[in-house]
Structure 1
């Protein structure tokens, strides 16, 4: 049985007074780090460890699997959208009550926001938060060459610490032994085991990546934990993953500063099968500044929750549920009238698509949406938009708000008479990006904003409350 997260539990109250941690990374995307990470999280969780999960980079899907695996919210660590100081504070604050920290990297170990420096990479995050790298690679079609591969990654950055190596998709014991001997003799890194390929353990994918954790059965994580325990040297991992633990350490200070000018508020947050892409850090920020969160479903609920002061429609998969969203005419009308009355609405990516006039699916079927804005969107799986965003928003005051976030979508505007109110400098984004559409106090953007890094965005939204 997995252990549920107890936010009031301090490290001193956990049976094992030691603390462990590592970050799982790989040669490239698709090498097996997501499944391995989820398996390790579930395995250590059911062994009684309080596991704190993290994800390097801008991602909503992997954290959903982390939470399913260890029953604790996963946090994103990103040095492109946040300052290094903020990332360290976020990590320290949210991992304080755990005695096991497991983070999952993004893409390959050294991939990030730049081709010439480490910004936004897993390697940078690992050094910033002081975790060693558990390195996984696909060993299915190599033997001695695996040593050259691992050696290249090990020596690329001498300041990076490695916990050890795992060879994925290696079925035979003889093959695994050849890889072990090659890696250990030529690199000096511990070989922690191999994982045979099992098609029954694969997680299905769609256009934005793996299916979400909420779409999986709990048995999948149990089977992954069994798979990991049966093939990896768990005792060696624990021995190598021990990290310093300061005795009687006080809880770290909050990553945000208290404000006496913000009054308590209630935000209605869309969360259902169509809208899932919400950073846990954003929800934490809402609550820190006195917010009460009411989740609602634009698919199933008839109207906006009573008592809400403003609405937040995050990203997700509205294109997969366009028919259900369109058929819920009372909710569409409720949101349209809300925005037309001047009450604040913030929508990002999929939420923005929902606020438009219509959404056309991959099959070419057009469905009516909320109609608060006049733009129309169309899904095209062959047309991807991907990248970090550094935007300026004219708040109507003396201060210009800088917003950082990212875009990742396969939809585009088929018609857009709206004028963008957010722009990026060509220095930060080439070519320049225009985003952010405003109607009264409703703001919609393709960019997923990282709210937590700066409270100015939340304070601007709250300033619109009547």
Structure 2
């Protein structure tokens, strides 16, 4: 740390009437709050405008995956606001984005997300505001909603000061919002001073004229608020200029990070040779060299990550923006990107532009690569139904109805493994895997009329593998889902930056592989990517053993993912008929053994231990495909068996599907007569139906093979 100003100075504009010297490295800080709704956005906008009025060039960032708040900060600063999120981006990604955003700025103002410590899950800071401050080595200014609060501000601030100190982060001061009067402000200030806590730096009195409008997904985007310019002006005037200058002087006087700290280093990601053509026979999304990429962008489609655009441009795409609401014609392009937004709010206008709907439908039928997420997915549906029951016909590319609900349908971070080539030639950027992170936040659901192949797989909170999204079009040229993907995450999740991995567990929260719990002090991890294949006839006990093994690994805090073949098959339906066997799914053309093996391979790239069940009984073709597909991936085959009488009894007692005793017996006899020709196969008897005992035997096997430190 240093307390002196750097010797390299340059002139920056300051308050009227005098010149201000600022360090070449801009002043940067994080505005956080104890909880959502605490006034972070109001305080951030007021401060950004007030600083601009003083002559400072302010660039803004927003912690977390939010797409709406950055639209306000962008207008307040006159410069695009970028997201910072340690879970989505990894630590190196956060540093890279911050470094670029700091270029040309006097001050970088970072608005937090939710409460200061709130992130991906309750046991980790990943994705939290505090984690961003820690990674960048920046001070935190706590925004406290002070309505109904007086001396009690002291223990509140004291707790957050200690929480910051535990992560080597300085809580530098406090901004109070919703204060009632100057007397109220003085009480708050005195309480902090009396308890030797960080000082009250600024205060905003209650003022209904400063409120920002909201709807179901948060604040209404700035572009839709006709009076937003006037609101910004009032916000800037709410903070006296002398107080704002004193705020800058105070923060500038704090010890700054050394020039060599990670937050100040140039560590921009290099995209080497990613403009080459990435052609595959399986998807037209990769058959074209980068050209013109048409992107829907208006009031209905406004949820985008700026870093996605930057990555597309690095790949060689020319970005062409258009409005599905107002434009008469779809721009000539080699691919189409439909982002998220509020199609339900503007459904009438979107539906009324029938020419655009029909052109997008025609382009999809002609094979144009289309990638759509959330609101874009809804727009591709045959129609959208509002909560009031109004139905608006739309593009009709996806055979389904987008139905708006009256409450939140899905919210949270997601980690997905694409089951198809990535859109926009991104396989060239991420040749080692197709695992991507993103976010879901929607009130609608898609009711599909028929069965469509899934776009990606992911692990739910129960540790079960599930599929989501759809592939459609004459050559699977349309990819659509509710996932807002952050595509730069491909870099650190799939091996381009081995030293910069984000924390987490299993497929949903993939992480770097450590050698053992003893060395990391945290999560124990196997020695590499391994696939445990539990095979045997139906009802032999594969699912029970897989779950028992997953629970045991979880209690020992060992990285793993569980993939259930039954669970995957249950997600495929045709004419309301479900497939209960892989053979049936192959006959129906709904799923295949090869697709399953590809899923296992992708899972092994992102998770260090994959547990899956299979029915390889006598199927030489499946066995050969498994070996060929997994290639160098470590496979641990485990063959389960039991007496035929036991198998029949278990099959009869199944409650998840109709009994198929003959089918199970055929599988058991095929397994008996054609032993698994896979090296290192372990044979276990499930006759006693004791999955816990079998689980312990498997744990010992993994230890003997030096896969786990048990």
TM-score by structure 1 length? 0.89
What does 1:60-209 align with in structure 2 at a 5 Å threshold?
Answer: 60-158=67-165, 159-209=168-218
Q: Deviations over 1:344-380 (max 9, x none)?
A: 1110100010011111112110111111111211111
Task: Quote the Cα distance in structure 1 between the aligned partners of 2:22 and 2:252.
Answer: 14
| Residue number among 276, 288, 300 corresponding to 1:261 in the alignment | 276
Indicate whether 1:350 and 2:337 are aligned.
Answer: no
Task: Quote the Cα distance in structure 2 between the aligned partners of 1:132 and 1:399.
Answer: 37
Task: Quote the Cα distance in structure 2 between the aligned partners of 1:390 and 1:234.
Answer: 43
Q: Deviations over 1:400-426 (max 9, x none)?
A: 511210100111123453342311124
Indicate whether 1:449 and 2:485 are aligned.
Answer: yes
Indicate whether 1:213 and 2:222 are aligned.
Answer: yes
Aligned partner of residue 80 in structure 1, secondary structure = helix
Following superposition, the deviation at residue 76 of structure 1 comes to 0.5
Q: Is the 8 A contact 1:90 1:255 kept in 2?
A: no
Q: Is the 8 A contact 1:96 1:251 kept in 2?
A: no
| Residue number among 2, 17, 22 corresponding to 1:17 in the alignment | 22
Task: Quote the Cα distance in structure 1 between the aligned partners of 2:257 and 2:156.
Answer: 30
Q: Is the 8 A contact 2:371 2:479 kept in 1?
A: yes
| Residue number among 442, 455, 462 corresponding to 1:421 in the alignment | 455
Aligned-residue Cα RMSD (Å) equals: 2.5
Gaps of 5+ in 2: 1-8, 14-20, 278-288, 422-426, 494-710
Task: Quote the Cα distance in structure 2 between the aligned partners of 1:280 and 1:261.
Answer: 23
Larger Rg over CA atoms = 2
Q: Is the 8 A contact 2:154 2:197 kept in 1?
A: no
Distance change >3 Å, CA 330–CA 104, structure 1 → 2: same
Distance change >3 Å, CA 155–CA 281, structure 1 → 2: same
Task: Quote the Cα distance in structure 2 between the aligned partners of 1:193 and 1:62.
Answer: 22
Q: Is the 8 A contact 2:338 2:376 kept in 1?
A: yes
Distance change >3 Å, CA 27–CA 113, structure 1 → 2: same
Following superposition, the deviation at residue 384 of structure 1 comes to 3.1
Task: Quote the Cα distance in structure 1 between the aligned partners of 2:365 and 2:491.
Answer: 26
Q: Is the 8 A contact 2:326 2:353 kept in 1?
A: yes
Q: Which has the higher contact order (CA 8 A, sep 6+)?
A: 1
Aligned partner of residue 438 in structure 1, secondary structure = strand
Distance change >3 Å, CA 162–CA 383, structure 1 → 2: closer
* Stretch of structure 1 that moved more, 126-135 or 374-383: 374-383
| Residue number among 310, 334, 353 corresponding to 1:328 in the alignment | 353
Q: Is the 8 A contact 1:208 1:409 kept in 2?
A: yes
Task: Quote the Cα distance in structure 2 between the aligned partners of 1:152 and 1:331.
Answer: 55
Q: Is the 8 A contact 1:105 1:122 kept in 2?
A: yes
Aligned match of 2:389: 364
Q: Is the 8 A contact 1:93 1:251 kept in 2?
A: no
Q: Deviations over 1:38-97 (max 9, x none)?
A: 111122123222212101000111100011101100111111112111111121122122
Task: Quote the Cα distance in structure 1 between the aligned partners of 2:458 and 2:320.
Answer: 33
Task: Quote the Cα distance in structure 1 between the aligned partners of 2:334 and 2:302.
Answer: 21
TM-score by structure 2 length? 0.60
Aligned match of 2:341: 316
Aligned match of 2:410: 385
Distance change >3 Å, CA 353–CA 293, structure 1 → 2: same
Distance change >3 Å, CA 137–CA 94, structure 1 → 2: same
| Residue number among 239, 242, 251 corresponding to 2:250 in the alignment | 239
Aligned partner of residue 238 in structure 2, secondary structure = helix
Following superposition, the deviation at residue 342 of structure 1 comes to 1.4
Q: Deviations over 1:7-32 (max 9, x none)?
A: xxxx9575543221111100111110
Aligned match of 1:438: 471
Task: Quote the Cα distance in structure 2 between the aligned partners of 1:429 and 1:187.
Answer: 46
